Amino acid sequence: MPDHTAPEAAPPVRRRLSAQERRRQLVGIGLAKIVEKPIQDLSMDDIAAEAGISRGLLFHYFPTKTDFYLACIAAAGRRMLRTTAPDEDLPGEQQVEMVTRLMVEQIERRRDFYLALVHGHGVADPRVSEVMDSVRDGSTERVMVALGVPESRRDVVRAWWAYTEDRALTWSAVPTGERPVPLSVLVEECVAALHALVALRP
């Protein structure tokens, strides 16, 4: 009788990753883990094991722990800008409301990480503040483009973002049912503060 049993599936072929792909993989693993724990508590052994490589090979791509942490933080900053991007088809005022709401929601979801990003907890390296600066600069540019704010008022808009971050951090520290205002009112107040600041004579 003919043998009708199904042939065994061939084991998957493991493709060797390029250096860029491997770095991207490792940073992706690090990003997933810093959501769960402070970045300074990450285990390089755990990162390497999850990637299926040796600890020594991990340090081939990132010579020090700090280099790896900074790569993860920089990737987190880029992700933050992507996840807080407004719909550019909306009118400028609505874009500003949207990006403000998205930033507050982002801070609420990742409050501990955001605090670490702002204050540099866990990684004593000036490049951490550069990541935060890039997030603020990108967010500032979005607001200026959306509202047509003149270049002379850039510092004002950037300072407003620092104010909005502080409001969001304070608001999100309070348990949900005890917050003094809902998210919609917080966003409304922050946007109103922006217009008041931009309207002031330089």
Residue 6 in this model has a pLDDT that exceeds 60: no
- Report the share of the chain in percent with pLDDT over 90: 57
In a domain, 9, yes or no: no
Q: How confident is the model at residue 124 (pLDDT cuts 50, 70, 90)?
A: low
Per-residue confidence (pLDDT) for residue 131, from 0 to 100? 79
Residue 123 lies inside a defined structural domain of this protein: yes
> What is the rounded CA–CA span in Å between residue 146 and residue 84?
14
One domain for residues 119 and 49: no
Task: Judge if 45 and 86 occupy the same domain.
Answer: no
Domain boundary among 11, 36, 71: 71
Domain that holds residue 109: 76-199
Question: Is residue 23 over pLDDT 80?
Answer: yes
Residue-wise pLDDT for 70-121, tens only, equals 888 888 888 889 999 999 999 999 999 999 999 999 999 888 777 766 665 5
Q: Is 134 a domain residue?
A: yes
* Position 1 in a domain: no
3 pLDDT above the threshold of 80: no
At 18 the pLDDT is 87
23: domain CATH number?
Answer: 1.10.10.60
Tell me if 14 is assigned to some domain: no
Is 4 a domain residue? no
Please check whether residues 175 and 81 belong to one and the same domain: yes
137 within a domain of the structure (yes/no): yes
Higher pLDDT, 39 or 145: 145
Same domain (yes/no): 154, 87: yes
Average pLDDT, integer, range 7-35? 75
Burial class of residue 137 in the structure, from the number of CB atoms within 10 Å of its CB (0-12 exposed, 13-18 middle, 19+ buried): middle
- Report, as an integer, the average pLDDT of 11-29: 79
> What domain count does the chain have?
2
In a domain, 115, yes or no: yes
Query: Which residues lie closer than 8 Å to 140 by C-beta, 6 or more apart?
Result: 154, 157, 158, 161
pLDDT for res 10:
45
pLDDT at 180 over 90: yes
- Asked whether residue 99 falls in the same domain as residue 62, the answer is no
* Same domain for 157 and 100: yes
Can you give the pLDDT at residue 11? 45
Please tell me the predicted confidence (pLDDT) of residue 26: 94
Judgement on whether residues 61 and 37 belong to the same structural domain of the protein: yes
Same domain? 37 vs 116: no
Query: 24 — phi, psi (to 5°)?
Result: -65, -40
Cα distance between residue 74 and residue 62, in whole Å: 14
For residues 28-33, give the mean pLDDT: 87
Q: Same structural domain for residues 122 and 174?
A: yes
Q: Which of 159, 165, 163, 75 is nearest to 118 (CA)?
A: 165
Same domain as 90, residue 58? no
List, in sequence order, the alpha helices (H) in the chain.
19-34, 44-51, 55-61, 65-83, 92-109, 111-119, 127-147, 154-172, 183-199
Query: Domain boundary at 55, 71, 87, which?
Result: 71
pLDDT at 95: 97
Written as one letter, the residue type at 184 is S
pLDDT of res. 157:
97
Judge if 114 and 165 occupy the same domain.
yes
Q: Does 181 share its domain with 102?
A: yes
CA proximity to 147, closest of 199, 189, 107: 199
Overall average pLDDT of the 27-55 stretch: 84
